Amino acid sequence: MALPRLRPVALSLLFAFSAAQAQENTLSAVNVTAKGYSTSDLETPLSTVALDRDEIFRRGAANVGEALRGEPGIAISNDSAQGQNPIIRGLGKESIVLLVDGMRFNSAQPAGAIASFMSLGMAERLEVVKGGASVLYGTGALGGAINVLLPQAKFVPGIGVEAGASYDSASKGMRGTAVVNASSGDHAVMLGASLARIDDYKSPEGTVPRTGYDSDSFIGQYRFRIDAQQQLRLSLQQHKDEDVWYPGSTRPHANPKVSSTTVHSPQQQRRLAELGYSRKGTGEAPLNLDVRVYRQEMERSIYSWANGLKRDIGTTEVTFQTDGFDAKADWLVHPQHLVSFGVNAWEMTGNPDRMLASPPNFTTFVPNTPFQNASIKALGFYAQDDMRFGKLNLLAGLRYDTVKGDAESMKNGTVTSGLDSKDSAVSGSLGAIYEAAPLFRPYANYARAFRAPGMRERYESGLRGDGYFYAGSPEVEAEKADQFEIGIKGANATVNYGISAYYNQIDNYLTGQIMSGSAAVAACGAANATNCKKTVNLGSATIKGVEAHASWQFVSGQWLRAGYTRVRGENDDLDEPLFQMPADEVSLGWLGNVMPGVKADFTLRLVDDQDRIATQFTKGSENATAGFATADLGATWQVDKRNSLRFAVKNLADKAYHEHLTEGVSGNEILAVGRSFQLSWKGSF
């Protein structure tokens, strides 16, 4: 049964509670990602989220998507336990720039969450910028940016260790993390590891098969202090997942022998090497500088399992390699002007090796390479001025990018011409926030952002996780988006809140469109014409919404929190709701001291039914989703200054549900995790 409409409830509570997890002793969160350097949220004319290590620990999150679940303006699209992609203001993984320590994750991701290529267990902070962020992060930042900040080597004499471990009953999952920092003189070293062994989890209706996996993550960094202002650093990261299945990708197959197929990854791995130099300025007009070169490799095995035959009928081996260069500086040229500028350049290459089994027996494998020797090259220059005039803070930025795409061939070598492409764009932003009072800071901003088509959208023709055969579209054009946002922020010792409303107009909106008739035959071939999609540009799409959060310390040590999200997307070409928009949501919570050294918390999510669905565009394949409510309860005991224990119960009522954006055949989506008991420890030595 659908929940009551949530808007009246939410709007009456916005100034009383908060889903944004404000800390009791912090007036405003600090965010590095929003402006490119450390700044207060209250001085930023943008919507942001920042979770520190303690808050990530309290949430007991296994991945980025799970950590951000329930945050205002953020939804989750998932196809497995591991593959949980954040959705920011209705825009998915292709329209969000994901970063680790400020370096872009690049991968033509066919299944799962690109954010899963790291361990959240070692994260120091998780930061989100909501809305167009192309000025700082270039192509792809229509919805915003997510930055996961991992530990850095520190010049703290001696040896220090931070560690943690957890167990959850739903998946019998065990996780362990340790980070060691050692420093002497001008040398500092950091080493870290995070391991996970996860079984299939239980939903209220039983075990969900193929949701377990193993994960190993390792990081290391060496820093050399040249002098008081200058440092060199060498950073290494490696993350490896094994036996990852995506049950949300299960689709029926036309051949009864095959029955249905499910995508899985026997192994996937990310490797990163970075060499960097930083200089901290001094004097009345300090100039701070940071330069890095890096190589990142996303290596994947992507197989298609025939559930009737009990074996694979498709295998793909691919490595997406990115070589990048970043240089940025911020310069306090005047007490009222902090100017930042920089250049970003990267090249991603990919050459998938795909083999498909041939009917009728599916025992003979033949090459079916979607594309060969593809590359995307991006180059961008930006400048930004952070201006302060009394209680007025202005932020203005401008950027120019070029993105070039190319491939040797596509469609198993049958197409070798017309594959070059070039997109260029000017991005800009202008925002203002005014401190009328500590609890009343109105702000407004405009952002122009863009997204060049990705490698798969341009060149890959083949079966994807949603069950459709996609036709590569080298002719598609870049998206351009104009977002307008107004809002109010405020904070003091007892209240922290924010309300915003936004309007986002996206031209040349990129999406996969179902083809039929002669158009399907031309795009996908006669064999796939009944199950054909092609990446196209819609004329335009409009996304608008309202989101809010607030927290209130109603008595000393006792906080109430609430949040609200409302997103509306419109396919302007067909005058119908945009495909895959999140449902309305309210979250309520309490966090407080219950005895010396012990804090307890309670969180309630109220998610409305979603009946605003695309019917014409999807030809009836998107169905409405019922509303649901879930509750979580937990307690954290600060054993001493260095150690804390936490016990939590998630999905307290063992509610059977799935998010609207869960992937899968409509009506057969995998259920979310049922009631789960979690025990966690965090400590330092």
Q: Could you read off the pLDDT of 196-229 as tens digits, one per residue?
A: 999 999 999 999 999 999 999 999 999 999 999 9
What percent of the chain stands above pLDDT 90? Answer: 66
HEC states along 585-647? EEEEEEEEEEECCEEEEEEEEEECCECCCCCCCCCCCCCCECCEEEEEEEEEEECCCCEEEEE
pLDDT: which is higher, 412 or 22:
412
Q: Is the peptide bond before 247 cis (omega within 30 degrees of 0)?
A: no
d(CA 543, CA 484): 11
Encode pLDDT of 136-180 as tens digits.
999 999 999 999 999 999 999 999 999 999 999 999 999 999 999
Residue 113 has pLDDT above 70, yes or no: no
Lowest mean pLDDT among 187-191, 391-395, 668-672: 668-672
Place of tokens 């919507």: 47
Residue 8 has pLDDT above 60, yes or no: no
d(CA 62, CA 215): 11
Residue 11 has pLDDT above 60, yes or no: no
- The amino acid occupying position 603 is T
pLDDT for position 3: 46
Ramachandran sector of residue 580 (left: φ over 0; alpha: ψ -120 to 50; beta: rest): left
d(CA 279, CA 228): 9
Place of tokens 């005058």: 575
- The amino acid occupying position 226 is I
pLDDT for position 109: 62
The verdict on residue 63 lying in a domain is: yes
Q: Buried b / exposed e across 223-262, counting CB within 10 Å, b at 16+?
A: beeeeeeebebebebbbbbeebbbbbbbbebeeeebeebb
pLDDT: which is higher, 413 or 381:
381
Residues, the chain, total?
Answer: 685
The helix or strand, by DSSP H or E, that contains position 10, with its residue range, turns out to be: helix 7-13
- Of the pLDDT bands very low, low, confident and very high (cuts 50, 70, 90), residue 519 is confident
Dihedral, 361, 363, 369, 370 alpha carbons, nearest 10: 40
Q: In 3D, which of 447, 445, 448, 449 has the Cα closest to residue 431?
A: 445
CA angle, corner 77, sides to 115 and 209, nearest 5?
A: 90
Residue 651 has pLDDT above 60, yes or no: yes
The verdict on residue 14 lying in a domain is: yes
d(CA 69, CA 76): 6
pLDDT: which is higher, 525 or 74:
74
d(CA 171, CA 241): 16
- The mean pLDDT of 448-465, rounded to a whole number, is 82
pLDDT for position 513: 81
The verdict on residue 611 lying in a domain is: yes
**What beta strand segments (E) does 63-105 contain?**
74-78, 84-88, 96-100, 103-104
pLDDT: which is higher, 281 or 110:
281
> What is residue 373's DSSP assignment?
S
Residues 6+ apart with CB under 8 A from 623: 613, 666, 667
CA 677 to chain CA centroid, nearest Å: 26
Q: Answer yes or no: are the C-beta atoms of 387 and 337 closer than 8 Å.
A: yes
pLDDT: which is higher, 339 or 111:
339
CA angle, corner 384, sides to 379 and 389, nearest 5?
A: 175
pLDDT for position 207: 93
Residue 355 lies in domain: 7-152+177-199+217-243+268-684
d(CA 679, CA 668): 31
pLDDT for position 643: 96
Residue 558 has pLDDT above 90, yes or no: yes
pLDDT for position 16: 37
Residue 587 has pLDDT above 60, yes or no: yes
What is the domain count for the chain? Answer: 1
pLDDT for position 182: 97
The verdict on residue 461 lying in a domain is: yes
Residue 556 has pLDDT above 90, yes or no: yes
Lowest mean pLDDT among 182-191, 224-233, 369-378, 506-515: 506-515
pLDDT for position 621: 77
- Of the pLDDT bands very low, low, confident and very high (cuts 50, 70, 90), residue 466 is low
pLDDT for position 112: 59
**Token couple for 99:** 């970063």
- The mean pLDDT of 68-97, rounded to a whole number, is 87
The verdict on residue 35 lying in a domain is: yes
List residues bridging with 482 in a β-sheet: 448, 505
- Of the pLDDT bands very low, low, confident and very high (cuts 50, 70, 90), residue 17 is very low
Query: Domain containing 392 — which CATH number?
Result: 2.40.170.20
d(CA 19, CA 51): 12
pLDDT for position 79: 75
pLDDT for position 93: 83
pLDDT for position 465: 52
pLDDT for position 203: 93
What percent of the chain stands above pLDDT 70? Answer: 94
CB atoms within 10 A of CB 161: 12
The verdict on residue 667 lying in a domain is: yes
Encode pLDDT of 273-297 as tens digits.
999 999 999 988 999 999 999 999 9
Give the strand pairing for 47-52 and 74-78: unpaired
Residue 456 has pLDDT above 70, yes or no: yes
d(CA 648, CA 630): 14
- The mean pLDDT of 31-45, rounded to a whole number, is 90
The verdict on residue 469 lying in a domain is: yes
What is the pLDDT of the chain when averaged over all its residues? Answer: 89
The verdict on residue 263 lying in a domain is: no
Residue 192 has pLDDT above 90, yes or no: yes
pLDDT: which is higher, 301 or 513:
301
Burial class, 600, CB count within 10 angstroms (exposed 0-12 / middle 13-18 / buried 19+)? middle
> What is residue 440's DSSP assignment?
B
Q: In 3D, which of 22, 33, 20, 60 has the Cα closest to residue 175?
A: 60
CA 143 to chain CA centroid, nearest Å: 10
Residue 1 has pLDDT above 70, yes or no: no
d(CA 287, CA 190): 27
The helix/strand/coil state of 301 is strand
